[in-house]
């Protein structure tokens, strides 16, 4: 009876998770389509003031709906579909299977409610980890291409081309994924959105502050004038230094990440070595009490590893 209840609960949770996410994705696609149609049919561009100059107030009043908050909590970005190379439904199925597996294994050592909660938490964690890995890899590739894109814009402007043509050259000559982002940005400009606001939409999709720097630069130049090529050249130099600094921070943090992995794997290596030397050293883990202790130890090891990774990531961001 307990096992049937366990499998039934896990199946219901899996179906509810998949159905809920599918419904939210469909509603989000409809909302974005309505937004683009409304912008395309507008008589006046939303970012133009009464005097005719584009505004450099880059903060918009768009509120995040419940759908977007839920998806971003899972680190899934529906507005950047090219970042998620693995289909989302496969990741959800894999997370549901992991939740079912953890619930089944935990029911042998823990109570049924605790095992169900642990399975759901681990399933959501697995889904979020895979989505975050794909998105972070995509953003890292875009980040490394930004200095080349700004440098290409500087050379185009110095050759006498306007800013729009310089951006089109970036969308035409650079490789993906930055080419795709500039193509989408030029599409926003083509339907009447100011350049600074279009770049801020890129910033919201990628969460890279370099796009906000570029948006402020172009917005200020459109109102005050000046040598845009020189300003962009200085910005490109700053971005190159930021890219080099990020690579250096990643290299310096590699040792700490390796130490964290070794600390997590060391207890299991020691247990394997002791099992080969004398079997009775680990005979106690075959009992229910020993298995519970091993499960608690595994949980503490994984928690410590995640905390160390989080501290390393925060230190790199600072």
Q: Residue 177: is the preceding peptide bond cis (ω within 30°)? A: yes
What residues form DSSP beta bridges with 54? Answer: 48
Q: Strand runs (DSSP E) across the chain, as ranges?
A: none
This prediction has a pTM of 0.71
Cα–Cα distance measured from residue 99 to residue 11, given in angstroms and rounded to the nearest whole number? 10
Angle, alpha carbons 310-312-317 (nearest 5°): 95
Per-residue pLDDT of the chain (318 residues; tens, 9 = 90+): 455 455 555 555 554 555 555 545 545 554 554 455 444 433 333 333 333 334 444 444 444 567 677 777 788 888 888 888 888 888 888 988 988 888 887 777 777 888 888 888 888 988 998 999 999 899 999 998 998 899 899 998 888 888 888 888 888 888 888 898 999 999 988 888 888 889 999 998 888 988 988 888 888 887 877 788 888 888 889 888 988 888 888 887 787 788 888 888 888 888 888 878 877 777 777 777 777 777 788 888 888 888 887 887 776 665
CA atoms within 13 A on the CB side of 203: 17
- Residue 281 DSSP label: G
3-class SS at 119?
A: helix
Question: Which tokens go with 43?
Answer: 């008589």
Measured CA to CA, the distance from residue 112 to residue 43 in angstroms comes to 60
Q: What are phi and psi of 48, to 5 degrees?
A: -100, 130
* Contact in structure between 51 and 198 (CB atoms under 8 Å): no
- Predicted local confidence at residue 317, as pLDDT: 62
Predicted confidence at residue 287, as pLDDT, reads 78
Count how many Cα atoms sit within 13 Å of the Cα of residue 195 in the half-sphere of its side chain: 20
**What CA–CA distance (Å, rounded) separates 88 from 92?**
6
As a 3-state breakdown, the chain gives helix, strand, coil percent values, each rounded to 5, of 80, 0, 20
What local confidence, expressed as pLDDT, does residue 20 receive? 55
């Amino acid at each position: 009876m307990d096992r049937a209840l366990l499998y039934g609960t896990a199946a219901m949770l899996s179906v509810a998770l998949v159905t809920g996410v599918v419904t939210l994705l469909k509603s989000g696609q409809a909302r974005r389509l309505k937004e683009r149609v409304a912008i395309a049919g507008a008589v006046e561009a939303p970012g133009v003031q009464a005097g005719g100059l584009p505004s450099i107030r880059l903060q918009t009043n768009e509120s995040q709906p419940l759908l977007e908050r839920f998806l971003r909590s899972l680190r899934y970005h529906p507005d950047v579909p090219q970042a998620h190379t693995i289909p989302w439904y496969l990741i959800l199925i894999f997370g549901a299977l992991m939740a079912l597996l953890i619930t089944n294994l935990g029911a042998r050592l823990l109570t049924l409610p605790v095992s169900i909660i642990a399975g759901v938490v681990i399933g959501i964690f697995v889904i979020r980890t895979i989505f975050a890995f794909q998105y972070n890899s995509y953003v890292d590739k875009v980040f490394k291409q930004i200095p080349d894109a700004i440098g290409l814009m500087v050379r185009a402007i110095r050759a006498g081309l306007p800013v729009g043509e310089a951006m089109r050259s970036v969308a035409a000559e650079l490789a993906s994924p930055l080419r795709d982002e500039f193509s989408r940005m030029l599409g926003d400009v083509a339907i009447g959105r100011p350049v600074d606001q279009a770049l801020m939409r890129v910033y919201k999709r990628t969460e890279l502050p370099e796009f906000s720097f570029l948006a402020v630069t172009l917005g200020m130049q459109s109102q005050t004038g000046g040598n845009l090529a020189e300003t962009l050249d200085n910005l490109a130099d700053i971005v190159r230094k930021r890219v080099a600094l990020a690579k250096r921070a990643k290299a310096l943090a590699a040792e700490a990440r390796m130490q964290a992995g070794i600390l997590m794997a060391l207890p299991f290596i020691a247990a394997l070595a002791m099992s080969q030397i004398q079997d009775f050293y680990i005979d106690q883990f075959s009992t229910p009490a020993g298995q519970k202790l091993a499960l608690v130890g595994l949980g503490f090891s994984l928690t410590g590893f995640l905390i160390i990774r989080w501290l390393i990531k925060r230190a790199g961001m600072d």
